[in-house]
Amino acid sequence: MKKILALLLATVMVLSLCACGSGTDNTASAAPAGKTDSAASAQSGAGKDTAILATSDEPYRFFAQSKQSCSGADNLVLSNVYDCLLRLEADGTLTPALAETYEVSDDGLEYTFHLRKGVKFHNGQEMTAEDVKFTYDYGFEGPIGTALFVNYKQCDIIDDYTVKMTLSSPYAAFPYGVASRLGGIACKAYFDEVGDDEYVKNPIGTGPYKFVEWVSGDHTTLTANEDYWGTKPSIQNIIIQIVADTNTQVLGLQNGDYDVVRNPSIDVCTRLDGNADVAWDSTLSTGRITLYLNDWTGACKDINFRKAVQAGIDKQMINDGVYAGRSEVLNVDMCSNYLSFVTEADGVKVVPYDQEAAKEYLSKSSYNGEEFALSVPSGSALESVAKIIQAQLMEIGINCTVKATDYPTYSGEWKDRTYEAYILNNLCSLVDADGMYTGHRLDREAWENRVFQRDGEISEILLKARAAQGDARKALYVEACNIVTEEAYDVPLVNDLATIAYRSNMSGVKAHCLGNMYFGDWSFN
């Protein structure tokens, strides 16, 4: 820790005030971080002005609209250096950010946003409608544009503080795209000056924190934006420290070397309960744990076999065994915090856990005792889920095995549709029922004929749901979910959890449904 703080102090003494400072392939620098306390005072918590976050996932792409794309780990920086027009809160709700208000046309095609006045980028330039238009036009053309700015068509500048965005067809979840990492407003003038590659290395936004430096494989440093338009950050400096080993992360948290640990397992969290120096938080994430069954090869080609699997899984046992009972059992392939989430009350058909029914389905099938493999990434929570399912399916007479592989092999089976049964944590960045579309889309050449027999029908319904509104939209999701249930194409299991652990001398640290961290909310007690 002394080494980290000494490095920060040395860095801030030499860095330029200019946010567009030069960088190399693995190091970038920008604004100064200000005065840092000694290591001794930092460990004691007295007058502490630096928080150290330990994570195994390294952020390294700091311009979401870039042609280089970005990932969830990058959001640790993106959600603090940039602001969006709307902010996604920890529970999945939306609140005003750079847009004070907005209106939606009756046909759902036009969104008019009214911007805050006097908001400054980190280089001192005022944020205006021109920057918003640039962010959306350039972002939509990038690798994740169509995924997060769904149905975006154009952005028209009404005046310096008003923009009108037009969609090609209605999309109820568009505001969640506005609040996504791709919606962080970038500075057009700065981009015109430095270009895409340099913006990735040395980002500037309007957010509560300024970028200081990134040292590949070691850490990223941010410092408070003293001219922030909103509530000023309480903690002056944030160090995102890369710590590959999760045990080292937790030990460092307990010892006071780290202040926050990102996404520890629920088992780790519950073991921390007796430590008064450490606290933790969890919430339902936007990821749903689902068992996908194929219907084009092997035992799963028989619908009675699929129905046996469907009825033979006790989902609550998975919740209790893997998530300490803190999650929720799912009956559809969507999370309860999604927009347009549907339930049994809406008409969803629910298949209860029933071993006898499962055995009856199995007896009607053509299954002859062959091996039935569940594909999961090794060492993950999904492997623990698979082992519980394995034991349950063996009880009804299925020769179930767990196929745990490295992540590239595992993900390749999904991409190429070569799995027999596949357990997936399917995360939806848009916090919307449209996330269900991922498993049934027909526009991937690699899938060839390896699609569910009724995917054409399901895909058509889901595409209609994208454009529908209100109750009509929910009715379409009920229809699609019931087809999936009738055919037993998948078995929704449980909602995933988002977790965070932190020193108990901190306030404002919350688990976020999408894993976002808003450092500006943090403080030392």
154-166, pLDDT tens digit by residue?
Answer: 999 999 999 999 9
Specify the pLDDT at position 441: 66
Side chain identity at residue 268, one-letter code: V
Q: Which of 365, 352, 362, 422 minimizes the C-alpha distance to 394?
A: 362
What's residue 444's pLDDT? 53
The pLDDT of residue 443 = 61
Give residue 21's pLDDT: 35
Start-to-end CA distance of the chain, whole Å, equals 21
Going from the first residue of the chain to its last (525 residues), give the mean pLDDT of each consecutive group of 10, the final group possibly shorter: 38 34 38 34 63 94 92 91 98 96 96 99 99 98 92 98 97 95 97 97 98 96 98 98 94 98 94 95 96 91 98 98 96 95 97 98 97 94 97 98 93 86 92 85 52 83 91 97 96 97 98 95 97
Q: What is the pTM of this model?
A: 0.85
| pLDDT at residue 452, rounded to an integer | 75
Distance CA 55, CA 261 (A): 6
Per CATH, the architecture of 2-264+504-524 is what? 3-Layer(aba) Sandwich (3.40)
Given a contact cutoff of 8 angstroms between Cβ atoms, the answer to whether 90 and 106 are in contact is no
As a whole number of angstroms, the distance between CA 74 and CA 307 comes to 40
Give residue-wise pLDDT tens across range 392-441: 999 999 999 999 999 889 988 888 888 999 999 988 989 999 988 877 76
pLDDT for 379 equals 87
For 156, the 3-state DSSP assignment is strand
Burial class of residue 360, CB neighbours in 10 A (0-12, 13-18, 19+): middle
Residues 65 and 194: their CA atoms lie apart, in Å, by: 14
CATH topology of domain 284-497: Dipeptide-binding Protein; domain 3 (3.10.105)
Residue 521 tokens, joined? 């909310």
Q: Where are the domains of the chain?
A: 2-264+504-524, 284-497
